[in-house]
């Protein structure tokens, strides 16, 4: 998987159409399962406990990834189920869709997992997730007050630029 | 023949340096940390201006030297020139850069518009500390300008103003 070599906030913005209310929720986890960011734009049913919600989501994706890698009919090696895999090793799952939502997933080589939940008729969001990862690198990782492995909260690390750019971009995804 | 280094590396190095001086070495003495960072910038500016004026004739007056800083020096450092230069013709110059590269990823005002108002003391203290970080980074840049001008024979004092990030202005006062 090719990651970026851009200078400013590139790569080129994937073509954005429409309405603005399609992104529902977004999670960003790091390699240890710490939820760095949780944003919601449109979530009618609220869970009671945010911590449980994050743990559930992280566990779901961890299991899904290892399941899909083990079930891969084209891979040669036969490891045991449950052996943790390096990011990018084996096949990588990128989305699942139900009748009410679609969950898109991207994992970077450093273990940063981006999860975006949208309405079910959304197309392939891999380029969009790459763009969001680039926003993360530019505005969070390179932001001096930010300490790695801590949640991106506005007071401690002044990531206002990241939040506004992210909001703007997600609203423009069709 | 010049060798190149990645810009992200330089950015990360600066970030780490400022953070080390502010949080570890002089954790409770921000003035000392600021003057240390300024001194490092001074050395850097001194040597850089030596390198960038190698083939040029001596500057005739203060305005020429300041123009050199605004044009050539700034383009060597940041690939752009200073956007606006003002002077009162009595030794004070204001150099304004509308998108200062080393601060382009910081936002100054953490706005509590999401409904969270900082209520605990620890959050408010952290917010204050976070608001000082752009100022600390600026001490380095002020030191660079001061060192460069000292090497050209001009004694001065430099301060910076960041009321509108990412635009940033440096005020240079030449000592008579």
Give the tens place of pLDDT for each residue, A61-77. 888 888 888 887 777 66
* Nearest chain B residue (CA) to A135: B105
B2 CB-near residues (< 8 Å, 6+ apart): none
Q: By mean pLDDT, which of A1-10, A162-171, B56-65 is the weakest?
A: A1-10
Q: Three-class SS string for B74-121?
A: HHHHHCCCCCEEEECCCCEEEEEECCCHHHCCCCCCCCCCCCCCCCCH
A67 found inside a domain: yes
A133 found inside a domain: yes
Taking a C-beta distance cutoff of 8 angstroms, is the pair A33, A58 a contact?
yes
B12 contact A CB<8A? yes
Structural domain of residue A95, as residue ranges? 2-71+81-172
B83-105: pLDDT as tens digits: 999 998 888 999 998 888 888 88
pLDDT at A174: 63
- Mean model confidence pLDDT for chain A: 78
Dihedral sign for Cα atoms in the order A141, A113, A153, A130: positive
Interchain pair B126, A142: CB under 8 A: no
pLDDT at A156: 66
Closest to B21 (Cα-Cα) out of B132, B170, B176: B132
Residues of chain B in contact with residue A161, where contact means CB-CB under 8 angstroms, are 105-107
Look up the pTM and report it. 0.78
What average pLDDT does the segment B24-32 reach?
A: 83
Give me the residues paired with residue A40 across strands: A25
pLDDT at A88: 62
A124 found inside a domain: yes
Closest to A50 (Cα-Cα) out of A62, A35, A60, A64: A35
Counted across chains A and B, CB pairs separated by less than 8 A come out at: 52
Question: Which of B105, B109, B110 is closest, CB to CB, to A143?
Answer: B105
The position carrying tokens 């150099």 is B95
A123 found inside a domain: yes
What average pLDDT does the segment B30-50 reach?
A: 91
CA distance B77 to B54: 16
A155 contact B CB<8A? yes
A154 contact B CB<8A? yes
Residue A95 pLDDT > 60: yes
Q: By mean pLDDT, which of A7-11, A143-147, B107-111 is the weakest?
A: A7-11
State how beta strands B92-97 and B168-174 pair.
Answer: antiparallel
pLDDT at A12: 46
What angle, rounded to 10 degrees, do the helices at A160-171 and A126-136 form?
170
Supply angle C-alpha B61, B64, B65, rounded to 5: 90
Which CATH number characterizes residue A120's domain? 3.30.450.70
Interface of B with A in 114-143 (CB under 8 A): 114, 116, 118, 123, 126-127, 130-131, 133, 137
ipTM (interface pTM): 0.73
Distances (CA, A) of A110 to A64, A87, A162, A168, B101: 19, 7, 20, 26, 26
In chain A, % of residues over pLDDT 70: 75
B17 contact A CB<8A? no
Residue A23 pLDDT > 70: no
Q: How many domains does chain A have?
A: 1
Residue A15 pLDDT > 50: no
Backbone angles phi, psi at A131, to 5 degrees: -65, -40
Interchain pair B110, A145: CB under 8 A: no
Closest to A50 (Cα-Cα) out of A39, A64, A61: A39
B140-175: pLDDT as tens digits: 999 999 999 999 988 999 999 887 777 889 999 998
CA distance A115 to A105: 5
Residue B126's pLDDT band (cuts 50, 70, 90): low
pLDDT at A80: 65
Q: Which residue has the higher pLDDT, A44 or B150?
A: B150
The position carrying tokens 């008579």 is B176
pLDDT at B129: 65
A76 found inside a domain: no
Question: Which of A138, A143, A155 is closest, CB to CB, to B123?
Answer: A155
Interchain pair B106, A7: CB under 8 A: no
A152 found inside a domain: yes
A89 found inside a domain: yes
pLDDT at B47: 93
A131 found inside a domain: yes
């Amino acid at each position: 998987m090719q990651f970026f070599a851009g200078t400013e906030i590139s790569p080129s913005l994937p073509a954005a159409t429409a309405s603005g209310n399609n992104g529902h929720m977004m999670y960003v986890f790091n390699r240890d399962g710490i939820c760095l960011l949780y944003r919601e734009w449109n979530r009618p049913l609220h869970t009671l406990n945010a911590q449980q919600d994050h743990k559930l989501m992280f566990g779901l994706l961890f299991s899904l990834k290892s399941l899909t890698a083990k079930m891969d009919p084209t891979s040669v090696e036969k490891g045991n189920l449950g052996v943790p895999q390096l990011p990018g090793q084996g096949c990588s799952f990128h989305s699942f869709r139900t009748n009410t939502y679609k969950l898109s997933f991207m994992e970077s080589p450093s273990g940063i997992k981006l999860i975006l939940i949208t309405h079910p008729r959304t197309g392939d969001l891999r380029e969009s997730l790459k763009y969001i990862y680039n926003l993360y690198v530019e505005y969070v990782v390179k932001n001096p007050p930010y300490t790695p492995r801590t949640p991106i909260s506005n007071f401690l690390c002044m990531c206002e630029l990241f939040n506004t750019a992210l909001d703007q971009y997600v609203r423009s995804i069709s | 023949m010049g060798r190149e280094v990645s810009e992200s590396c330089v950015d990360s190095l600066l970030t780490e340096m400022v953070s080390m001086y502010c949080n570890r070495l002089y954790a409770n003495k921000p003035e000392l940390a600021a003057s240390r960072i300024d001194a490092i910038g001074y050395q850097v500016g001194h040597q850089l201006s030596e390198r960038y004026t190698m083939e040029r004739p001596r500057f005739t007056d203060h305005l020429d030297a300041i123009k050199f800083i605004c044009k050539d020096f700034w383009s060597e450092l940041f690939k752009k020139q200073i956007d606006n230069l003002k002077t009162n013709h009595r030794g004070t110059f204001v150099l304004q850069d509308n998108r200062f590269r080393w601060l382009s990823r910081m936002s100054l005002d953490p706005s509590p518009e999401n409904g969270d108002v900082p209520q605990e003391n620890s959050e408010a203290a952290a917010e204050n500390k976070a608001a000082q970080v752009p100022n600390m980074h600026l001490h380095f840049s002020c030191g660079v300008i001061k060192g460069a001008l000292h090497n050209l024979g001009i004694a001065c004092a430099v301060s910076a103003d960041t009321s509108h990030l990412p635009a940033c202005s440096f005020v240079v006062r030449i000592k008579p």
